[in-house]
Amino acid sequence: MDNKEMIQKVRKDLDSLDDKLVQIMQERMALVDAIAEAKRAENMPTADESREEQIIKRVLDSAKDEYKGETVTFIRTILGLSKFRQRKLLFDNIEDPLLPPPREPAAKDITIAYQGLPGAWGEQAALNLFPLAERKNERTFDDVFAAVKKQEANYGIVPIENSRTGAIGETYDLLRKFGCYIVGQTQVRAAHCLMGMPGTKLSDIREVFSHPEGLHQCAAYLKKHNWDLTETRNTAVAASLTAEKGEKRYAAIGSKRAAELYGLEMIEGNITDDHSNNTRFIAIADKPEYNSSCNAVSITFRTSHRSGALCEVLFHFMAAINLSRIESRPMMGEKYCFLRILREISMMKLCSGDSDMRPLPAVILRSWVAIRVDRVKTV
């Protein structure tokens, strides 16, 4: 028998085993259904970690050493399917609304809070999303969230990720801290320019002001020059400070709009290292807003500190949902994860309050028991 014939024979044996596995799986799921009904009657959680560990320990005792790793993965997958089946049975027929009721978007006298001075990239994002609204500048991102929660502003605009430098961790943490809802998003292309007093030449410059992100995003350009670099709260503050100094020895990195607002002259345009560099800004509100046109979902969740906990959560997205980003953040000595998803989740109820999926008091528009999610419009 040559190798090709051997492969065909082994495949037939595998097919036979697969058929048996499917039959056994269906028998197991029938037992799981019975367990789910009993748990519903007793108001018990679907997950029982001690029971799962007992199962894993028992099957490992009978597994060959060379297959112990695969055995654990196999059993955890079966247990994950079993819990998913129980949750499906427990929650598919519930009558309680799965979504917190949305409010109508503000229609008039809209106030938008953003961080920085006029000319900041946050203001540009506000103009993208709310071109006719009154704009209210705040000193810090924390102040933006506070203004929204105190209803001093209808919406807040904050950056959440940059295509070059990645996630903006402070925003993730503030979403959780204040419990605001993401209700919109927009992309702003960060085409940084070098600006200074009218008539300033490159040879005149001794010190450059900008936000740390602005300096980082123009690092290759700045390495060509022997300038002192000074960080500011944002790029608009850098432009304002340069205008206030009023000397040609000072320059700023920021937007063209900032140069125009503060009477500065653009010395060099688009000095950003990556010309495709853009920042995603989100609009936040103190109440959820959503409708059928929403096209993005965000989820916060926390997992148990044990092997396989995160894999069990991600397992539910495997079939038909594309994850565009996953972010992990520290949480008082623990960690929580933040997922952003760009596909609609319609029928999937992902958890039932078990220890692996505890709710967090932050963010979000759509609730499935212990998971909270955002659904947002994109501009």
pLDDT per residue as tens digits for the range 232-268 = 988 999 999 999 999 999 999 999 999 999 999 999 9
Name which residue leads in pLDDT, 170 or 294.
170
Given a cut of 80, whether residue 366 has pLDDT beyond it is no
Confidence of residue 312 (pLDDT cuts 50, 70, 90): confident
Q: Please indicate whether residue 281 is annotated as part of the active site.
A: yes
Could you tell me which residue, 244 or 367, shows the higher pLDDT? Answer: 244
When pLDDT is averaged across residues 324-341 and rounded to a whole number, the result is: 70
| Catalytic-labelled residue, pool 235, 279, 300, 303 | 279
Domain at 296-378: CATH architecture: 2-Layer Sandwich (3.30)
Provide CB contacts within 8 A for 292, sequence distance 6+.
none
The full set of domain ranges for the chain reads 3-91, 193-268, 296-378
Max mean pLDDT among 163-167, 237-241, 271-275, 309-313 falls in: 237-241
**Catalytic, out of 130, 178, 209, 281:** 281
Cα separation, 184 vs 281, whole angstroms: 8
CB 327 within 8 A of CB 172: yes
* pLDDT recorded at residue 220: 94
> In the chain, what's the furthest Cα-to-Cα distance?
88
Q: Whole-model pTM?
A: 0.71
Segment 331-358 shows an average pLDDT of 46
Euclidean distance between CA atoms 218 and 231, whole angstroms: 13
Looking only at the bridges linking them, the beta strands covering 371-378 and 181-189 are parallel
Query: Two tokens at 359?
Result: 């709710």
| CATH architecture observed for domain 193-268 | 3-Layer(aba) Sandwich (3.40)
Q: What is the CATH number of domain 3-91?
A: 1.20.59.10
Per the structure block, which two tokens stand in for 362? 């932050």
Task: Tell me how far apart the alpha carbons of residues 49 and 354 are, in angstroms, rounded to a whole number.
Answer: 9
The confidence score (pLDDT) of residue 339 equals 60
According to the model, what pLDDT value does residue 118 have?
Answer: 94
